[in-house]
Structure 1
């Protein structure tokens, strides 16, 4: 015979101040834990956004070397230096790049024997002073003359420590000698002095009258020289251009070197 099972309902519960204390403690612990999680997630989100922004800038903000020409110093059309005296580096920005301040750009150039680390002529932070005779109100050609001819007690000959820039395309008028800011679409020519110690008596370099007083750059770009140029902006990818000078310069004043 099967009997019907009876169910007993238990209506008893924990009561008293002890139970209340435990309940309040659990609520407080849950609240503290939730606060910590919210704060931690907010901090992580801020760090992730900052890291993502920096990573994007590092990848997208970089200079692109379009081409490089070498110019020989001369006194006349038939009397030219045996080595290249000036490099004209045409530079633009990669697509989608953030603005680049050339005042913070470092250019390292080596001829295989010696290396010069160059900064923009108006930068007075690295060496404690800007390039001697540099003027933000002068033209790029005038500052190029000072680059080739100028010297100072510290750090020394301008061509060994500085570079100057000439703008070619600047649609938003953001670029000036005082504030050389490049945006996407801008195109500039960077002048790098490579005057050799054996070519100091010639009177003209790229149309600039030096009068034979140009200073030695400590570099020698003779034929068959291997030259490496590395451009390191304040933020973004490093750009590099490497080339070998021709076996003979012949009678040419301007020589295409890169690409």
Structure 2
């Protein structure tokens, strides 16, 4: 009887050891699945940000210097694309080319300096105001007016001349805009869209 009891205890110990090994293996599998899930969610969030983030152009105007007949300043009315998260204009670059000169512009308050563009908030959507002097953030429904001083950046836009702009957020899809100055520049402000 003692020998059978010893075999039973030995079998029980082996059974308990197998359960412990299975539990450890299950724990490793659960941990691996959790890590993979977190990585997949992070990748999905990044992909969504890259696809959904961007601007939509509502209008583009040019301010003209009638004595020289050329467009000296561009004003671009923008809003966020559908589904876009908040975009801080401090992290946006605007590339402008007129065929002769290419410039890359960063944000500053006035937009009148060389190498910079400015922006003014036209409409803020309640209840979130992400637009402050140092942090010009745009949320869904907001409208901003971007100012590009062409003459300060050695660019000009004579009659029937084309300029191409690329508005590039830190993450997301760049927004392309092509404007052509009218054949006759007779107004202080010309519609370029």
TM-score, length of structure 1 as denominator length: 0.65
Q: CA deviation at 1:217?
A: 1.4
Partner of 1:98: 85
- Write the mapping of 1:69-108 to structure 2, written as runs, cut at 5 A: 69-73=61-65, 79-108=66-95
Task: Look up the SS of the partner of 2:70 in the other structure.
Answer: coil
Partner of 1:150: none
Match of 1:183 among 139, 151, 176: 139
The alignment's C-alpha RMSD in Å is 2.3
- Matching of residue 228 in structure 1 with residue 184 in structure 2: no
Contact 2:71 2:181 in 1 (8 A): no
Task: Look up the SS of the partner of 2:20 in the other structure.
Answer: helix
Task: Look up the SS of the partner of 2:148 in the other structure.
Answer: strand
Judging by fraction of residues, say which structure has more helix: 2
- What whole-Å deviation, never above 9, does each CA across 1:53-85 have from its counterpart, x for those lacking one? 222222222111111111113xxxxx5222210
- Matching of residue 239 in structure 1 with residue 175 in structure 2: yes
Structure of higher CA gyration radius: 1
Contact 2:159 2:185 in 1 (8 A): no
Q: Give the unaligned 5+ runs of structure 1.
A: 1-11, 74-78, 123-142, 148-157, 196-215
- Residues in 1 aligned to 2:184 and 2:19: alpha-carbon distance in whole angstroms: 85
Contact 1:106 1:231 in 2 (8 A): yes
Q: Give the unaligned 5+ runs of structure 2.
A: none
Partner of 1:111: 98
Partner of 2:191: 256
How many residues matched? 187
Kindly tell me: are residues 81 and 61 of structure 1, through their superposed partners in 2, closer, same or farther at Cα, counting changes over 3 Å? same
Contact 1:80 1:253 in 2 (8 A): no
Kindly tell me: are residues 239 and 250 of structure 1, through their superposed partners in 2, closer, same or farther at Cα, counting changes over 3 Å? closer
Partner of 1:64: 56
- Residues in 1 aligned to 2:185 and 2:73: alpha-carbon distance in whole angstroms: 17
Task: Look up the SS of the partner of 2:47 in the other structure.
Answer: helix
TM-score, length of structure 2 as denominator length: 0.85
- Residues in 2 aligned to 1:16 and 1:113: alpha-carbon distance in whole angstroms: 92
